Structure 1
Amino acid sequence: MTTATAHTTRPDPVAITDMTGEAQAALLQQFPPRKPAACWPATTWSREEIIDRMPLPRRGQDGSHKWSTRRRGAVAILTWLENFPGSTWQERWQASPAPSLDPAEWMSTGTAWTDRQGRPVSSAKRSELASGKLILFAYDIIRPELPWLVAMRPSLHLRTAVADHRDPEGFAKLAGLLGEEVWASTNAATAQSQIIRIMIAKGGGIDDITVGDCLELRLIEHDVRHKGSVHTHFYSWLRQLGIFPEDAPVSLRLRNLRPGQLTVEQLVDRFRLRSRPVRNLIVDYLKERQPSVDYSTLQNLSRALAHNFWADLERHHPGIDSIDLPADVATAWKERFRTITKHRKQPDGSVIESTKPRISYISVLMLIRAFYLDLAQWAAEDPARWGPWAVRCPISADETRTAKHEKQRQSRSRRRTRERLPVLPTLVDFVTKRLHDARARLEALQQAEPGEEFTVLGETFIKPKSSAARITRFTRSAWDQQGRRRNLTQDEHRAFWAWAAVEFLRHTGVRIEEMLEISHHSITQYQLPSTGEIVPLLQIAPSKTDEERALLVSPELADVLSTIVWRVRDRTGAIPLVASFDDRERLWNPPLPLLFQWESAGRRWPVSPASIRKALNEALLATGLIDENGKPLCFQPHDFRRIFVTDAIANGMPPHIAQIICGHKDINTTMGYNAIYPHDAIEAHRAFIARRRALRPAEEYRTPTTEEWDQFLGHFEKRKLSIGICGRAFGTPCIHEHACIRCSLLRPDPAQRARLTEIRDNLLARITEAEREGWLGEIEGLEVSLAGAQDKLAQLDAEKTRQRTIDLGMPTFSNLAGRTGSSPQPGFSPR
């Protein structure tokens, strides 16, 4: 007999991705179920020995009718089995038609049982046969196979009989481990039936059950009942008893086991690539990259190359087997991958197809471009291995530029933050009130008597008269006014974790995976060297950046932590150890006293990210908040992180301190989380102007007198000259002593070109006269004036050339500046 202690040697770890096929065989090989025994003492007893072992109370004594019925049914079944060949009752059972029949059908034909000569062998009623079957199973006379037992309807009497006759100490130990409330629940009845089935089919007691037995039962239940979910509480309870080896699976929860890390081949083969050479190339490439990346990155890389890239090409270009893509094939793939197509089914049965841009488009292009460039580089180092695959990359560097993509992402992020930050107080108040109301309903349910009608918060409920929990004070549900059965315990559970998540995330700004990994060990304290004051700290375990950090616990956060600690403690006052699953690395973490854990029918589970998101969505839907499109407002856990950074910086926290608190490696990431509001930019600009004015002399900002203002306006009137306008600043002297033709500040007027030409010709004539008369002192000054006149003419020519090149019908600055009156000038005609 195989037991938990006599376990086979563990083979190399095999990743389990599904309970079918190769994964199922690998797990069963690691933890094989016990093989049914061919013979055991009880099945060799004679009919008289079996009957003698059955108690026969006196007439009128309690239970006398029950045991009489059981004896008659057992005798009828044994009489029928004697007609089949075999030296033991088990062999006769196997030779009979019973194992091939449905249990209900076999019981229905009991009155028609005959011997070999066709004579009736039983006149027992159906109820008597059922009771007799119960005794034969409980006394270990017959061991039906698990599929037959799974198809049989569970019975409270069967559970009681097997528990009393097989292993009363084991069941008492299990009940003490779980506690009275759990042991009296509906889930406990289901789990007890599953344990009973294993004991009937395999023999032995609770301590003899193996991991393989539990796994075999779970697989058979799924196949026989054809349901997606099968209760696995029984496995968790048995694991808590310590009867399984340390390397036993943490859980058999749901159809899919928590998958471990897949091999590179398994990662690629998920997408069923047809081209074997390309499949092998991708496998070799991933193995080459594997030592330098984490498992999450390896998963994303395999999905990008095998699924997003090559599987799509094989779908649209059957028979393709070369990564040297023609230009049209590469372009068509990029166009397909740029968008995502969604199909939504409408109430009338029609399907609406919609497309939207793919957010991960640039990042996937970068991974595929890196794939081609790596092959080209490795080909130079190892031509024999990588040389045949060194081809032109179909993705250019310009196509992977992320500047525009990053701006769009930051814009979406900041828009979400600006939309959600104002409604955060509303959400906080609502989840707090929702938790208070849920607790009030649950307390009223627990205080009510069975069948009693009670009213709480304006709602009327009726407590069920008979609870499936069999203990009224543990009743979890009630009937509301609409006749619906509401699980008030589940309502309180979801309301609490929605409140805890909102409060924790908004006070810490941590990532959701960091929040769910917070344990009791994370709460510590620190003594300030300067004052000796002791302050509480919260240690954040390494997650995305692999860096541990500590956060100061505010009084509000301390209240939240104390409430969570009080809730998750067990009956002894300690926080139970729970093994959590790292979804990024696909590995089970060691058991820790996690704060975010919950109990379900005697087993402890870490709160999952999906549960947090579901609780948040339910709370937001109940608030009635809507977004800018009129749809229900949704919060992602990461939104609280962006809100935390925005609120902290807006209230004066230096960005580099916010960077340390958030655990960012780059301060630009922190600033990207900071959603800047328009009024923030205006106020910051006004504050800058105020600071700049404070640094300048105060007399510069005094109110000018009437004389000073007239002098200032008169300056602009005096700037008007005969051939243009002077650009001299107010209060500055003329540097050329009013020799304007020489001054660089003179802006010539195009209307005065003829006058400038006349001045130039006059200067030329005067220079000729000075040279003739020998006035050498005049020549130098005249040449300076001539150079200034020629420069002004050149400026007018250049301006005229610019205006003549392209006429877009747009007014020039001179035209705009000249329109100082409401009536047009004489001779002015608009274009």
Structure 2
Amino acid sequence: MKFPARQPPAVWTATTHSERQILEDLNHHPGRATGTTHDQRKRGVRKLLLWLKDFPGETWQQRWYATPAHSLGGKWDEEALAWLVDHDPTVQKRGALKAGFLWLVCADVLRPDVEWLSTIIRSRHWRNPMATYRDPEGFAQLHAAADRQGVDDKRKHQALIQITTIMAAKGGKVADITVGDCLELREVESRTRNQLGAGRGYFYDLLQQLEFFPADAPPTLRQLTMRSGQVSPGQLVDRYALECGPVRDLIVDYLAERQPALDYNTLEQLSRHLALHFWKNIETHYPGASSLRLPSDVIAAWKSRLQVKTRRERQPDGSVREVTTPRSSYIDLLTNARGLYLDIAQWATEDPARWGPWAAPCPITAAEISGRKRNARRKARMDQRTRERLPTIAALVQVAHQQRVDAQARLTALRNAAPGETFTVLGEVFVKAVGEPSRAVGSDFAYDSAGRLRQLARAENRAFWAWASVEVLRHTGLRAEEMLEISHQSITQYVVPDTGELIPLLHIAPSKTDQERLLVVDLELADVLATVVSRVRGDAGVVPLVSTYDVHEKTWNPPMPILFQSRAGGQNHPLGQSAIRRVLDELLLAAGFTDAGGQPLQFQPHDFRRIFTTEAILNGMPPHIVQLILGHKSIDTTMGYHTVYPQEVINGHRAFIARRRAMRPSEEYRTPTDQEWEEFLGHFERRKMALGDCGRAYGTSCQHEHSCIRCPLLRVDPAERPRMEEIRDNMIARIAEAEHQGWLGEVERLQVSRAAAEGKLAQLDERARRATTINLGMPSFPEIAGRTATLPGRRP
């Protein structure tokens, strides 16, 4: 372990002192208490040492661990009191015992373990004597650091109690506390408490500020306790407890071989696909499998199972039932399994000894992993999401602004009211909470007219970040990860050399595609960023440094002045993607938007990216410029984000026709002469035939030398069917005559004409059949259309 906790030695100087030396130290210590407090501690020390001497051990610490005190917890003194009453009838109260035990711990005579002390040390009656006897200078530095941060007394007291607990269990001074000691206390608290609370990690930050920890220590305790970080390929695979050791080792070796070319998030996903969804699935349903060369029926059954997934869904009556749904990642799972087979087959030619024994025919074909249909369905689904959400953007922005203003008004009225005072704001009546309700400071709480306790400061914080998220996402088209990594240093400006004009820019750090880029900041976005910066830096005048967690690489970034951060529990924390989704959900719930089915409309941060792309292209921005703004490597990806509207297609086609018309000779659009008009009308008159109409275009002559029966442009009139049949019968008679006379050339020509006549008659039959189709009364399309798509208005 990189940061181990200190292990107390078996023997140290103070725990070997005699009873007389301990009492002399108590009497002559510069920070000794006075009056009855000193006398009570002295009596308590004598009684406790008398009790401890009855237990085996060479030191007071060994005798302490020989007592049953640890099993009694906070009632440890009952055992000592019962023994002392039997041996000394003058002992009547336990207060002296607790006072004596306090001094023995402060004097480092006894060092109970952390878990036991965490249930005993709760008040300042422990904190103050520890500071006085053990390390006055260290505690003074802690007080000064907490005061500089403006931490409330409750949070500071809690942190000092935790530091006191570590010193009592490990010995030494404040400066001797290690990172491992803090981790041990945190682990103990996570086991002994129902919930840790928002501020129980502040003691670590307090010690970190005093620079007592080494340079490589994480800046916050959260980095060590709330994120697992990167693990090895073997640890990734062992999460699924594969039974076949050789196959387990093969998958580990395969991941290790692929690891240099993959980011950690992709490596973790690949390990889950291969170890869990592939081999663990095979082992569960085909026990004893030990080779990649699997029977065809086993592979077929595996593919069938993989196509669906089962989840538990709670019903309206409270019952839970299993629901089977198609697995959206089915093709990805097959692709990774196919990659395993193909990679091993290729590597076997390069290193036969290592990979050759595992080479096997790939049971997954290229056709099975074709994502054409899936991509088309996903494109249609995403386009529908955009069409439903884009028209609500303006209203959503207005709701976000109003929610923020209202929440700020409530909080301001709350903080201007006295405790217990009734105040009215925005038509709502509140009563400011008195004292400190559990969970937070009372000044942030108020009771509404229904008697519910509401934390108005938290509501204002959520409303602000919902507003900021909506504004930044809709103006920039950033990914949620990129938005949360915007720092104060990202806001920059460019000076035009010729004019001296200042152009505000927003620098986007590399994220998913490892491409950094600069975005021009318009006035609206500049106002939003200025508001965020003013809020985050507060009275200090600087943006606090916080560390963000890279969810893809499972690593912590160095401390930076991140803009999307919030203060909780006396600490500044970066906002995560889950927090952004929560505040957006609350905003949409307040807005009351619904989809076409009447269900509440949900927004994901990525929806704003698609909406930004669609609006940009609709408003005339070239797609290749949008590609650069979004940071896409391929313009196909950008166009995949663009949602096409029917009116856009119509307008584009009309514009194309207008451009084509402008390119044609101008004389074609002059007023025709009388002769040209007569010629135009004569053309249509000459298309009238005995059998029907000729469909040749204006200005063209007959290309078939008036062989109308064979001409595909002849459209026979149904009324002329008898004439057509007469022509066909005449051809049959002429064919018979030609055959009789031996005119073979004439026979061939007449047979071609006869076939054309038969075709014309067949066309007449088909038209007659269609004309007699029965009308079933089906509604027309305008009657069944659920919505009419319209082109969104241009943004000002």
Under a length normalisation based on structure 2, what TM-score does the superposition of the two structures give? Answer: 0.86
Corresponding residue of 2:12: 39
Looking at structure 2, the residues matched to 723 and 483 of structure 1 have their Cα atoms a distance apart, in angstroms, of 91
Q: Which moved more, 1:429-438 or 1:254-263?
A: 254-263
Corresponding residue of 1:235: 204
2:314 matches 1:345: yes
Looking at structure 1, the residues matched to 77 and 58 of structure 2 have their Cα atoms a distance apart, in angstroms, of 24
Question: Which of 219, 238, 246 does residue 215 from structure 2 map onto?
Answer: 246
Q: Is the 8 A contact 2:11 2:59 kept in 1?
A: no
Give the percent of matched residue pairs that are identical in Structure 1 and Structure 2.
49
Corresponding residue of 1:60: none
Q: Is the 8 A contact 2:155 2:570 kept in 1?
A: no
CA distance 1:356–1:431, change in 2 (3 Å): same
Corresponding residue of 2:786: none
Corresponding residue of 2:648: 680
Q: CA deviation at 1:209?
A: 0.5
Looking at structure 2, the residues matched to 42 and 291 of structure 1 have their Cα atoms a distance apart, in angstroms, of 54
Question: Which of 571, 575, 583 does residue 543 from structure 2 map onto?
Answer: 575
Q: Deviations over 1:526-580 (max 9, x none)?
A: 2235544220111111111111111001111111111121122265422222222
Looking at structure 1, the residues matched to 347 and 434 of structure 2 have their Cα atoms a distance apart, in angstroms, of 75
2:69 matches 1:101: no
CA distance 1:686–1:745, change in 2 (3 Å): closer
2:340 matches 1:371: yes
Q: Is the 8 A contact 1:222 1:229 kept in 2?
A: no
Question: Which of 781, 793, 796 does residue 754 from structure 2 map onto?
Answer: 793
Question: Which of 805, 812, 815 does residue 766 from structure 2 map onto?
Answer: 812
Looking at structure 2, the residues matched to 507 and 471 of structure 1 have their Cα atoms a distance apart, in angstroms, of 36
Paired residue secondary structure (2:84): coil
- Which AA in structure 1 matches 2:69? A
Q: Is the 8 A contact 2:146 2:156 kept in 1?
A: no
Looking at structure 1, the residues matched to 765 and 161 of structure 2 have their Cα atoms a distance apart, in angstroms, of 91
CA distance 1:669–1:254, change in 2 (3 Å): closer
CA distance 1:582–1:738, change in 2 (3 Å): closer
Looking at structure 1, the residues matched to 149 and 412 of structure 2 have their Cα atoms a distance apart, in angstroms, of 16
Corresponding residue of 2:174: 206
Q: Deviations over 1:204-263 (max 9, x none)?
A: 221111112112222222333365779322122212221111222344339954222211
Paired residue secondary structure (2:391): coil
Q: Is the 8 A contact 2:708 2:714 kept in 1?
A: yes
Corresponding residue of 2:503: 535
Question: Which of 371, 376, 381 does residue 412 from structure 1 map onto?
Answer: 381
- Which AA in structure 1 matches 2:403? R
Looking at structure 1, the residues matched to 277 and 344 of structure 2 have their Cα atoms a distance apart, in angstroms, of 19
Looking at structure 2, the residues matched to 455 and 66 of structure 1 have their Cα atoms a distance apart, in angstroms, of 51
Matches for 1:640-659 after TM superposition, within 5 Å: 640-659=608-627
Q: CA deviation at 1:811?
A: 6.8
Question: Which of 189, 197, 205 does residue 221 from structure 1 map onto?
Answer: 189
Corresponding residue of 1:294: 263
2:520 matches 1:552: yes
Matches for 1:375-386 after TM superposition, within 5 Å: 375-386=344-355
- Which AA in structure 2 matches 1:398? A
Corresponding residue of 1:447: 416
Looking at structure 2, the residues matched to 287 and 34 of structure 1 have their Cα atoms a distance apart, in angstroms, of 36
Q: Which moved more, 1:660-669 or 1:311-320?
A: 311-320
Paired residue secondary structure (1:645): helix
- Which AA in structure 2 matches 1:755? I
CA distance 1:453–1:718, change in 2 (3 Å): same
Q: Is the 8 A contact 1:503 1:557 kept in 2?
A: yes
Looking at structure 1, the residues matched to 692 and 329 of structure 2 have their Cα atoms a distance apart, in angstroms, of 61
Corresponding residue of 1:5: none
CA distance 1:33–1:729, change in 2 (3 Å): same
Paired residue secondary structure (1:333): helix
Looking at structure 1, the residues matched to 164 and 310 of structure 2 have their Cα atoms a distance apart, in angstroms, of 50
Q: Is the 8 A contact 2:739 2:747 kept in 1?
A: no
Question: Which of 140, 143, 146 does residue 172 from structure 1 map onto?
Answer: 140
Corresponding residue of 1:360: 329
Looking at structure 1, the residues matched to 631 and 33 of structure 2 have their Cα atoms a distance apart, in angstroms, of 74
Q: CA deviation at 1:200?
A: 1.2
Corresponding residue of 1:142: 110
Matches for 1:628-639 after TM superposition, within 5 Å: 628-639=596-607
2:245 matches 1:273: no
Corresponding residue of 2:782: none
Q: Is the 8 A contact 1:596 1:606 kept in 2?
A: yes
Looking at structure 1, the residues matched to 711 and 538 of structure 2 have their Cα atoms a distance apart, in angstroms, of 93
Q: Is the 8 A contact 1:741 1:788 kept in 2?
A: no
2:634 matches 1:666: yes
Q: Is the 8 A contact 2:546 2:562 kept in 1?
A: yes
2:573 matches 1:605: yes
Question: Which of 272, 291, 303 does residue 303 from structure 1 map onto?
Answer: 272
Q: Deviations over 1:478-527 (max 9, x none)?
A: 33333333222222222222221111111110111111111122112222
Question: Which of 521, 529, 532 does residue 489 from structure 2 map onto?
Answer: 521
Corresponding residue of 1:491: 459
- Which AA in structure 1 matches 2:766? T
- Can you give the 5+ residue segments of structure 2 that lack an aligned partner in the other structure? 774-796
2:279 matches 1:318: no
CA distance 1:566–1:423, change in 2 (3 Å): same
Looking at structure 2, the residues matched to 368 and 518 of structure 1 have their Cα atoms a distance apart, in angstroms, of 38
Q: CA deviation at 1:309?
A: 0.9
Looking at structure 2, the residues matched to 413 and 511 of structure 1 have their Cα atoms a distance apart, in angstroms, of 16
Looking at structure 2, the residues matched to 157 and 338 of structure 1 have their Cα atoms a distance apart, in angstroms, of 64
Paired residue secondary structure (1:107): helix
CA distance 1:561–1:756, change in 2 (3 Å): same
Looking at structure 2, the residues matched to 742 and 142 of structure 1 have their Cα atoms a distance apart, in angstroms, of 116
Corresponding residue of 1:112: 82
Q: Is the 8 A contact 1:112 1:122 kept in 2?
A: no
Q: Is the 8 A contact 2:433 2:446 kept in 1?
A: yes
Q: Is the 8 A contact 1:542 1:548 kept in 2?
A: yes
Q: Is the 8 A contact 1:723 1:755 kept in 2?
A: no
CA distance 1:743–1:286, change in 2 (3 Å): closer
Q: CA deviation at 1:72?
A: 5.3
Looking at structure 2, the residues matched to 479 and 69 of structure 1 have their Cα atoms a distance apart, in angstroms, of 46
Looking at structure 1, the residues matched to 119 and 477 of structure 2 have their Cα atoms a distance apart, in angstroms, of 51
Question: Which of 162, 183, 208 does residue 151 from structure 2 map onto?
Answer: 183
- Which AA in structure 2 matches 1:795? A
Q: CA deviation at 1:740?
A: 6.0
CA distance 1:799–1:366, change in 2 (3 Å): farther
Looking at structure 2, the residues matched to 181 and 456 of structure 1 have their Cα atoms a distance apart, in angstroms, of 32
RMSD: 3.8
Q: Is the 8 A contact 1:417 1:643 kept in 2?
A: yes
Looking at structure 1, the residues matched to 760 and 153 of structure 2 have their Cα atoms a distance apart, in angstroms, of 94
Q: Is the 8 A contact 2:562 2:574 kept in 1?
A: yes
CA distance 1:467–1:727, change in 2 (3 Å): closer
Q: CA deviation at 1:114?
A: 2.1
Q: Which moved more, 1:546-555 or 1:735-744?
A: 735-744
Corresponding residue of 2:428: 459
- Which AA in structure 2 matches 1:360? S
Question: Which of 727, 737, 747 does residue 755 from structure 1 map onto?
Answer: 727
Looking at structure 1, the residues matched to 552 and 721 of structure 2 have their Cα atoms a distance apart, in angstroms, of 74
Q: Deviations over 1:350-390 (max 9, x none)?
A: 21222222111112211111211112222223322222222
Q: CA deviation at 1:817?
A: 8.7
Matches for 1:701-780 after TM superposition, within 5 Å: 716=684, 718-722=686-690, 725-730=693-698, 732=700, 751=722, 752-755=724-727, 758=730
Q: CA deviation at 1:720?
A: 3.7
Q: Is the 8 A contact 1:93 1:99 kept in 2?
A: no
